Structure 1
Amino acid sequence: MFDVSFSELVVIFFVALMVIGPEKLPKVAKVLGKLTGKAQNYISKLKEEIEREEKFKELQKIQREIKKKSIKS
Structure 2
Amino acid sequence: MFDIGFWELVVIVVVGMLVLGPERLPSALRSVQRGIAKVKQYSQRVQDELDHELRIKELHEHLKKAEQGSLDDLSPELQRSLTELQDAAAQVQRPYANTENSAKPADTPSASAENPPKKDDNA
TM-score > 0.5 by shorter chain? yes
Quote the residue 2:28 is aligned against: 28
Instruction: Give deviations 1:9-58, integer Å, cap 9, x for gaps.
Output: 22111111111111110110111111111111111111111111111101
TM-score by length of 1: 0.86
* Superposition deviation, residue 64 in structure 1: 0.4
Where do 1:36-55 residues align within 5 Å?
A: 36-55=36-55
Partner of 1:18: 18
**Distance of 1:58 and 1:64 partners within structure 2:** 10
Q: Aligned partners of 2:3, 2:46: CA distance in 1, in Å?
A: 23
Cα RMSD for the two superposed structures: 1.7
SS of aligned partner of 2:23: coil
Structure 2 residue matching 1:21: 3-state secondary structure: helix
Say how many residue pairs are matched: 72
| Gap regions ≥5 residues in structure 1 | none
Counterpart AA for 1:30: R
Gaps of 5+ in 2: 72-123
Find out whether 1:6 has 2:6 as its counterpart.
yes
Range that drifts further, 54-63 or 6-15:
6-15
Fraction of identical pairs, as percent:
34
Please give the TM-score of this superposition, normalised by the length of structure 2. 0.54
Residue in 1 that maps onto 2:95: none
